[in-house]
Amino acid sequence: MNDFSAQLATELQPASGTGPDWLNALRQAAAEQFRSHGLPTRKDEAWKYTGLGVLTQNEIRLSVPADTIIAPAASPAVARPVVAVEQQVTLLNGRILNRSENLPSGVALLALDEALDTEVDGLQALLESLPSAKKKTLSSTGFSALNTATLENGVVIRVASGVDGGRVLLSWSTSVEKAACLFNSRVCLILEPGAKLELLEQFETPRDNKNTSNIVVQAALGEGAALRHVRLQQESETTGLITRTEVSQQAGSDYRYYGFDFGGGLVRHDLHCMLLGSAAKASLNGAYLLDGNRHVDNHARVDHMAPDGFSEQYFRGVAGGSGKAVFNTAVYVHPGADGTEAKQSNANILLSKRAEIDTKPELEIYADEVVASHGATVGQLDEQAVFYLRSRGLNQEQARQILTTAFCRSVSDRLADPQLAEAISERMMDVMPQLD
Amino acid sequence: MSNETSTTDNLVKQKYQHGFVTDIESETLPPGLSEQVVRAISARKNEPEWLLEWRLKAYAQWLEMEQPDWAHLNIEAIDFQAISYYSAPKADKDRPQSLDEVDPKLLETYDKLGVPLHERARLAGVAVDAVFDSVSVGTTFKKELGKAGVIFCSFSEAVQDHPELVKKYLGTVVPQRDNFFAALNSAVFTDGSFVFIPKGVRCPMELSTYFRINAAETGQFERTLIVAEEGAYVSYLEGCTAPMRDENQLHAAVVELVTLEDASIKYSTVQNWYPGDENGVGGIYNFVTKRGDCRGARSRISWTQVETGSAITWKYPSCILRGDDSIGEFYSVALTNNFQQADTGTKMIHIGKNTRSKIISKGISAGHAQNAYRGLVRMTPRADNARNYTQCDSMLIGKKCGAHTFPYIEVRNPSAKVEHEATTSRIGEDQLFYCLQRGISEEDAVSMIVDGFCKQVFKELPMEFAVEAKALLEVSLEGAVG
Amino acid sequence: MLKITNLHANVAGKEILKGLNLEMQGGEIHAIMGPNGAGKSTLGNVLAGREGYEVTQGEVIFNGKNLLELEPEERACEGVFLAFQYPVEIPGVNNTYFLRAALNAQRKYRGEEELDSVGFLRLVREKLKVLHIGDELLHRAVNEGFSGGEKKRNEIFQMAVLEPMLAILDETDSGLDIDALKTVAEGVNRLRSPDRAMIVITHYQRLLDFIVPDKVHVLADGRLVATGGAELALKLEEQGYAWLEDGGIGTLDETGATQAGTP
């Protein structure tokens, strides 16, 4: 273990005392795990292209010095919602700052501690299901162990069978100014059979913010449940954001992810779907646009564990300036998952000599009767198309702008809600990297 | 194959055809690896001091390294002290000087293998350097090649006769500490081939080497070095076989290729090391480092491999595209059956401007086998307008095997372009039925479909090799359908 | 309006145009015919300024300006329009959006006011009506998933909206069945005007049944080897291009009658 991890390990105080015994056992075990493994390094295959640079430079701390915290009332404005929403939860430093009360019947939205007190059905099983560091396949386990060890803050949403929970916005930000802290938080989504929910997550931090957020989202989709998960992320060049999304899917469930990453100092997202029941469907879509010194590392993985599943991964990336985009997608078809169909598509445009794109689309297949394919490209805009536009009177720059936007819009256009698609595409226009 | 006996059982029991043991006396070092062993190998080969130093440096580095575990392979721990690092067929005092002096039994072995050594070699127009366990046993056509200025000899001879060339190029493509197995090879390599094509010469014939591991509990650590000077061209063929043995045998070779300006090397391999039996017992552990350095502008290195053997294959023939406008190619068929495991692919490192690379990989997996493609395409900041195209297809036959794809794409130049495509499929029932309905047996249909699947690679092989590769594939596939 | 003098151009290091001369006045339609590989499409691409088409000699004066000095988009803004032989598919870019961006770029260049979306839509609907084209193509991405006929119609539609001074139709008839050909030709005829010149590049005479040219040129081996009226096209149709190889244009009229009988 390196010095940085060792320092964090000595600081680590499991959040004990609150909550039931099983939870304390879980926290203790995770703390042990962290103390023996620490945070990942570039020697770990899953972190080959991403170092912890910003975190170590900022000398991230686990405990928040008492005198530096800014009272919630004085905190800078949180992210402006990308679209108007009925239900909104604002989280600051991993804790709920405020939340709307008008919930449809059949939807419970609670702070994690409240949910533990009221013993929400299925919560214990969900919290205990987060895979441990022992499995070589999981890549953010050092951070996850830290998250579990300090498990205290977060949100629990439960949607009753057959209920449409509508759209819920989680707006994340951090506020500590003089110090650089690591904030942990947990989101648990429990969708009973046939339930529906749209989770919209927005992450935004102001300039010079040096914090790191470490957030785990766990979603359990019952039979035929449907979760639409939209994520929009824009950190400052000094901020870290480590997130992990774990989705377990029963038969016939449908998970759709739409991620829009504009990067940050260190942005890492591990997105993992386990198709446990037959004919489950996972559609993972994302665009990443990077400029300046921004970084983003997306790891998406789908485990097909039952027959007749479908998964697709559709990601588009643009890197300019000194931006660095890492993209790793994996499909794992387990024995017995016959009839699986899996598609992966990843295309990237590199705009600058200082920018870098590393992509690794993996397939691991242990069943036959499988149709799997992937395509990955890194290159430039189609020169034929650029000429076509120029021959119609648009200049070089306009032509490139239009084509790059179209390239990224191919992701936002996959959103069913045209209003949301438009709003997100406007945000993309705002941050579009330029050719240099 | 008669209709009556073509039951699945019979097919499964299809024997490895090259699995005979040659009964000749050989002079073998006792098992174990130490500085003394390295010195002993060097002394036995009467090597100059600098080469001994070079080996000892590699050995020291190897001691500090760990066996890599990143490949998609399940390997039992290798006991490096249980292996003998030198085994030479014993024939009087000296090694054979010409084919006439070679132990007749050895020649018989090559006969069984189908190595075109004597007249057959002449007819086929192939110059053969055969490496048997650890030493080279004779090279044909030396005179004719000599006229053209081509040097084609065993590595040991090259050390004696052309030390300046060996010294100039050895380890410049694969340095001693490149990886665990390359370091091991650098310390204990025993023989191999050396090829030198001088400036402007197009090698008048295809050069060929056959490797064979014979003695029990030996490892084979051959080293091949091919240098093509400005404007030179050579096509080099390599064939590998080993007898059936219960224990696993280690093969850790290093191949280095160097092309200067406008030079071109075409390197073809048909690897048919013993794969182990149908229960996964025995077989060769094949850990090979093959790398070509396109040092000069407009030079070209092309790797073609057909891999049907070995219990474990760990092999990534690579190209460093240093010269502007240089070209790297990799064409591969890897077939695994029973309990075979393969983790193979290539690396294309683009450094020069306008460099181009092409990767065509076909993986076929049957039985309980695991077959992984692992490839790296790297576009460095200097590699303006570099291009790569990769196509990587897997085919699964049966429910218990695995097919995996791990491509790494690293791009740091905005004018570079990388395209990667991969598919995984099985033999379609409709395809099979169509063949059956036309009266073709299931086995024939499968091999026909697989052959079609691999065509893109086979057409890159020299004619005789393509025929051999196709036949090998059929043999290896037998028992896969049922 | 257009004067091409001694134009030489290379593609991938090979000389394709070898001294081409052509002069056109506003309102004229010139057809350029010739065998495959004669350099017909090269001419269109050179005039539009496509990369990879290297002019080694000669000049092109368009309305008093040296066209070869201009960027592709400047040529477009000056009024040069190329209807592509293979219109490019641009996934994700809406046809309407694309065309409005192009039109406004051209208007801006000419110092005219840019059109807002309402004004633009009015214009577009008007043009669609004139060309008898349905508006479903407005909602699709540029050429994406279009049939061959739809692509060519989209080119003509763009031409109608952009109102160029010089339109170059590069094998607009290729790959079209007779009905699609008629539709496209009808569109072109509607866009004929006294101040618009058109170059119709084609391999076959049949397009010229519907678009009657003022002049027909034969392009062979990088040069215009014959010029005549619409009747020249009919002769070419009868005799094919083979005569070009055995003796050139001089032989056309004398041996026409005898050659017509041979296959």
CATH class of this structure's domain C2-88+165-259:
alpha beta
Q: Which of residues 254-283 of A touch B (CB under 8 A)?
A: none
Tokens of B161: 């006769």
**CB-CB under 8 Å, A389 with C102:** yes
What's the mean per-residue pLDDT of chain A? 88
Q: What is d(CA B301, CA B460) in angstroms, rounded to the nearest whole number?
A: 13
pLDDT exceeds cutoff 60 at A261: yes
Chain A contact for B376, CB < 8 A?
no
Query: Pseudo-torsion of CA B464, B470, B473, B477, nearest 10°?
Result: -150
Considering A279-283, A363-367, B92-96, B436-440, the range whose residues carry the highest mean pLDDT is A279-283
Q: Which residues on chain B are in Cβ contact (under 8 Å) with A378?
A: 379, 409, 411, 416-418
**CB-CB under 8 Å, B422 with A373:** yes
Residues above pLDDT 90, as percent of chain A: 53
Chain C residue with minimum CA distance to A396: C73
Residues composing chain C: 263
**CB neighbour list of residue B69: distance below 8 Å, 6 or more residues apart:** none
**CB-CB under 8 Å, A395 with C71:** yes
Q: Which residues on chain A are in Cβ contact (under 8 Å) with C49?
A: 390-391
pLDDT given for residue B126 in this prediction = 43
Cβ(B19)–Cβ(B274) under 8 Å?
Answer: yes
Amino acid at B285: Y
Range of the domain at A265: 3-277
Average pLDDT over residues C220-230: 87
User: Is residue A254 in a domain?
Assistant: yes
**CB-CB under 8 Å, B406 with A375:** no
Write out pLDDT tens, residues A81-98.
888 888 999 998 888 988
pLDDT given for residue B411 in this prediction = 96
User: Is residue A330 in a domain?
Assistant: no
Chain A residue with minimum CA distance to B381: A353
Task: Identify which of A384, A402, A407 has the shortest CB distance to residue C88.
Answer: A384
Q: What is d(CA B266, CA B226) in angstroms, rounded to the nearest whole number?
A: 11
Chain B contact for A326, CB < 8 A?
no
**CB-CB under 8 Å, A335 with B424:** no
Task: Identify which of A357, A361, A366 has the shortest CB distance to residue B411.
Answer: A357
**CB neighbour list of residue C103: distance below 8 Å, 6 or more residues apart:** A393, C115, C120, C123, C161, C162
User: Is residue A170 in a domain?
Assistant: yes
Q: Hey, CA dihedral for A115, A117, A118, A120, is it positive or negative?
A: positive
**CB-CB under 8 Å, A365 with B402:** yes
**CB neighbour list of residue B273: distance below 8 Å, 6 or more residues apart:** B213, B240, B241, B242, B251, B283, B284, B286, B309, B310
Write out pLDDT tens, residues A198-232.
999 999 887 778 899 999 999 999 999 999 999 99
Q: Which residues on chain B are in Cβ contact (under 8 Å) with A355?
A: 412, 414
pLDDT given for residue B103 in this prediction = 53
Cβ(B117)–Cβ(B128) under 8 Å?
Answer: yes
Q: Which residues on chain B are in Cβ contact (under 8 Å) with A357?
A: 409-411
Q: Cα A92 to the chain's mean position, in Å?
A: 17
pLDDT given for residue C255 in this prediction = 35
Measure A398 CA to nearest chain C CA, in Å: 9
Chain C contact for A102, CB < 8 A?
no
Tokens of B163: 């030390």
pLDDT given for residue A55 in this prediction = 87
Task: Identify which of C77, C91, C158 has the shortest CB distance to residue A406.
Answer: C91
| Alpha carbon separation from C4 to C1, C60, C81 (Å, rounded) | 10, 4, 16
Q: What is d(CA B106, CA B380) in angstroms, rounded to the nearest whole number?
A: 49
Tell me what ipTM this predicted complex has: 0.85
Cβ(A149)–Cβ(A25) under 8 Å?
Answer: no
Q: Which residues on chain A are in Cβ contact (under 8 Å) with C102?
A: 389, 392-394
pLDDT given for residue C43 in this prediction = 93
**CB-CB under 8 Å, A409 with C72:** no
Angle, vertex CA B190, rays to CA B184 and CA B191, nearest 5: 120
What are the percentages of helix, strand and coil residues in chain C, rounded to 5? Answer: 45, 30, 30
The residue that leads in pLDDT, A105 or B429, is A105
Task: Identify which of C51, C87, C93 has the shortest CB distance to residue A383.
Answer: C51
Tokens of A412: 């936002």
Chain B residue with minimum CA distance to A383: B415
Q: Which residue from B473, B2, B465, B440 is spatially nearest to B237, judged by alpha carbons?
A: B465
Q: What is d(CA A326, CA A315) in angstroms, rounded to the nearest whole number?
A: 11
Pairing of strands A95-99, A87-92: antiparallel
Runs of H (alpha helix) within B346-441: 429-437
Provide the residue ranges of all domains of chain C, joining segments of one domain with +.
Answer: 2-88+165-259
Write out pLDDT tens, residues A4-57.
888 888 888 777 667 888 898 888 888 888 888 888 888 888 898 998 888 888
State the total domains in chain A: 1
Measure A365 CA to nearest chain B CA, in Å: 5
Q: What is d(CA B263, CA B295) in angstroms, rounded to the nearest whole number?
A: 9
Chain A contact for C181, CB < 8 A?
no
**CB-CB under 8 Å, A383 with C88:** no
Provide the residue ranges of all domains of chain B, joining segments of one domain with +.
Answer: 7-476
pLDDT given for residue B95 in this prediction = 44
**CB-CB under 8 Å, A375 with B416:** no
**CB-CB under 8 Å, B398 with A380:** no
**CB-CB under 8 Å, B405 with A361:** yes
User: Which among A350, A369, A373 is the top mutation candidate for probing chain B, defined by the most B β-carbons within 10 Å of its own β-carbon?
Assistant: A350
Q: Which residues on chain B are in Cβ contact (under 8 Å) with A335?
A: 399-400
Measure B370 CA to nearest chain A CA, in Å: 9
Chain B contact for A368, CB < 8 A?
yes
Pairing of strands B223-228, B254-259: parallel
**CB-CB under 8 Å, B423 with A378:** no
| Alpha carbon separation from C250 to A243, B48, C30, C222, C254 (Å, rounded) | 79, 81, 21, 18, 8
Average pLDDT over residues A99-110: 89
Task: Identify which of C51, C90, C102 has the shortest CB distance to residue A385.
Answer: C90
pLDDT given for residue B480 in this prediction = 65
Write out pLDDT tens, residues A399-411.
988 898 889 999 9
Q: Which helix (H) or strand (E) holds B373?
A: strand B370-379
**CB-CB under 8 Å, B394 with A353:** no
Tens digits of pLDDT across chain B (482 residues): 333 333 333 433 445 555 545 554 556 777 788 888 899 888 888 899 999 999 999 999 999 998 888 888 887 788 888 887 876 654 444 444 455 555 555 555 555 545 444 433 433 334 555 555 445 544 556 777 888 899 988 888 899 999 999 999 999 999 989 999 999 999 999 888 899 999 999 988 888 776 655 555 556 788 999 999 999 999 998 876 655 555 667 888 999 999 999 999 999 988 877 777 777 777 888 889 999 999 999 999 999 998 888 888 889 999 999 999 999 999 999 988 888 888 999 999 999 999 999 999 999 998 888 999 999 999 999 999 999 999 999 988 888 889 999 999 999 999 999 999 998 888 766 677 776 777 777 777 787 788 888 888 888 887 767 777 777 777 777 666 64
